[in-house]
Amino acid sequence: MASSPAFLSAQDVGSFAYLTVKDRLPQILTKVIDTLHRHKSEFFEKHGQEGVEAEKKAISLLSKLRNELQTDKPIIHLADKCVDTDIWNQYLEHERSLLNETDGEPRWFFSPWLFVECYMYRRIHEAVIQSPPIHDFDVFKESKDENFFESQESIDALCMYLQQLKPARNLGEDQLKDELFKLLQISLWGNKCDLSLSGGESSSQKSDVINSLEGLKPFILINDTESLWTLLSKYKKAAKPPVVRVDIVLDNSGFELITDLVLADFLLSSELATEIHFHGKTIPWFVSDVTVRDFNWIVEHVRSSNQKSMATCGADWESHVKMGRWIYHDHIFWTLPHPYCTMPQVAPDLYAELQKACLILFKGDLNYRKLMSDRKWEFTIPFHQALCGFHPAPLCSIRTLKCELQVGLQPGQAEQLMASDPHWLTTGKYGILQFDGPL
């Protein structure tokens, strides 16, 4: 087998990885520092002078981090005592061992982009947890919640649409298939609402995504929804309906999470699935990624909405959680820098859990980068090959393109896109629903 291509990294001046490390990451750190500063009086009210001192400490650690990044200092070990600290430090040692004598230490602009970007978010977490009593403060909570509140009209329209489909098990086969495809596309375009891409600026959903679907179809570069339908309808038609478990590896909170919950609700009510397992992050991550707090917060806020459709959906979702039809998991692996092909070695318990699924949906760009090991694959390399042996169950990547990485395209497709839109890979304008099926 040919050796794998090089990792994406900021040493390619002008690349998206370079612009991220040079501009977007310092911008995100500045916003985090500003957020802590703005909550100073709240920390004082809650914790007195101790809270103010903690805020100062966290800000000083984050300013140091920003300086290290901007001046391309060597990447240093984590100093906290978390469950994943040793794994991170071992990974850093591994990175160091790959460098020869002349390269010296792993640094921000020269190490793999996936590693340094994940490392920055882990260091943000370190700065906060090393500053008790504000150690459980989520520096991204405000922007995640704002995204939800600013997207109210779109959320209400989506909840109303979902209610009109019920009971979905009564839909004819063609309509069922049609609605599944629509909700998969809504979940795809919900992935545009990514706060790390916008450097933490607002990215809420203000238009009615349902009515935009037809116009957005040409922007789906790979659409394997037929394969998903074949897989799920096969289970549904089985003489003795089995347990049909669909896992969703979540990406962003706010509007995107709503699109995922709407899809999950439909899968249950249409009997295309019997249980849904959600996977989120254990710590605040990549600005807008879902934590258990975000998951519960969204369900609760939809349930207590004064819009009838939203409140009905929220009550249904709460009941799915209580009855065990929806199960939320988090695992430290999702916030490690490792590509997913290493999961059987690094997190065998998580790999075994995913093997119980009939289908796994991986939402968003970071999941795609980790599925693809964040390497410079040729555009035409088959998806299955670039997964490098990662195949716990049939899986599908649902993402809008926000990095210079895409596989499985037709010959000439990338060149055509490049000619008409030089930034096609990084703006979130294009999307994929890319499936890797039974072996």
| pLDDT above 50 (res 247) | yes
Question: Which residues 6+ apart lie within 8 Å of 156 measured at CB?
Answer: 305, 307, 309, 310
Terminal Cα-to-Cα distance of the chain (whole angstroms): 19
Other CB atoms within 10 A of residue 77 CB:
10
Q: What is the pLDDT of residue 3?
A: 78
Query: What pTM value is reported for the model?
Result: 0.97
Distance set, CA 218 to CA 143, 212, 241, 379 (Å): 31, 12, 36, 18
Q: What is the pLDDT of residue 237?
A: 87
DSSP 23: I
d(C-alpha 38, C-alpha 61), whole Å: 17
Range 300-303, long-range pairs (CB < 8 A, 24+ positions): 301/148, 302/155, 302/159, 302/258
d(C-alpha 69, C-alpha 223), whole Å: 38
| pLDDT above 70 (res 102) | no
Token representation of residue 338: 């490792």
Please name each of the domains of the chain with its CATH number: 16-129 (1.20.930.60), 141-436 (3.40.50.10880)
| pLDDT above 60 (res 439) | no
Model pLDDT for residues 261-298, shown as the tens digit of each residue: 999 999 999 999 999 999 999 999 999 999 999 999 99
Other CB atoms within 10 A of residue 233 CB:
15
d(C-alpha 56, C-alpha 306), whole Å: 40
Q: Give me the residue label for tokens 């037929």.
A: 226
| pLDDT above 60 (res 197) | no
Question: Which residues 6+ apart lie within 8 Å of 352 measured at CB?
Answer: none
Collapsing DSSP to helix, strand or coil, 279 comes out as strand
Beta strand segments in 109-238, E: 220-223
| pLDDT above 80 (res 207) | no
DSSP 310: H
| Amino acid (1-letter code) at residue 166 | K
Q: How many helices (H) and strands (E) does the chain have?
A: 19, 7
d(C-alpha 61, C-alpha 79), whole Å: 12
| pLDDT above 70 (res 198) | no
| pLDDT above 50 (res 1) | no
